[in-house]
Amino acid sequence: MKRVLAKTTTVLLAFLMFVLFSVICFASGNPSIICKNVSGKAGDRIEIEISVENNPGIMYLELTPIYSKELGAPTIKNGNVFSDITIGKQIIWTSDTDNHNNGKLITFFFDLPKDIPLGDYSFDLILRGAYNYNEENVLFNVKKADIKVSSNNSNTSFLFVLLPVAIILIAIIVIVTFFFIKKRKRHTMNDCA
């Protein structure tokens, strides 16, 4: 019993430490790069906005996007935080002085394939480096985006509603017909007697 209680207490304390760490990391005031959650249907174009909050001032920022290959290749549009951008496997922003701007850093546009497997995907960024004018490392919390892809076929969702209703109606018709035939047979047998 003591072991169970000790293990339960350990797990509970670990969970509380995780929650407190998460709250502290994403509390207001901490520099953050936030990827906006999105949802879309197969065949749609989705856009994932990445924003910077509580920017303490940086002149160099390097990020690597990580996303599922099922999403396809994105189109990328720079935001309003930095004007000088280099796009390759990594995305690099530079400035001549410390840039304190907050707002939209960049937007990724994905044209979801019509045959994409439905479900949940994620979009994340690896922070490769962020430095200020004094070449001091600046730490940012990075929040990934969750992407939910649902069916674009409205007939499918209609079938999920229509099919159970049709089954219930057929069952009612079969039961009523069965009782009607049974009652009619009794009438017919009573008429013959």
Residue pLDDT, tens place only, 112-147:
999 999 999 999 999 999 999 999 999 999 999 999
Please, which pLDDT band fits residue 23 given cuts at 50, 70 and 90? very low
State residue 175's pLDDT score: 85
DSSP string, 129-144: EEE-TT--B---EEEP
Tell me if the pTM is above 0.75.
no
DSSP string, 62-82: EEEEEE-GGG-PPEEEE-SS-
Residue pLDDT, tens place only, 71-81:
999 999 999 99
Strands of the sheet containing 84-87, edge to edge, are 38-41, 145-150, 119-131, 58-67, 91-99, 84-87
CA 55-59-65 angle, to 5 degrees, is 75
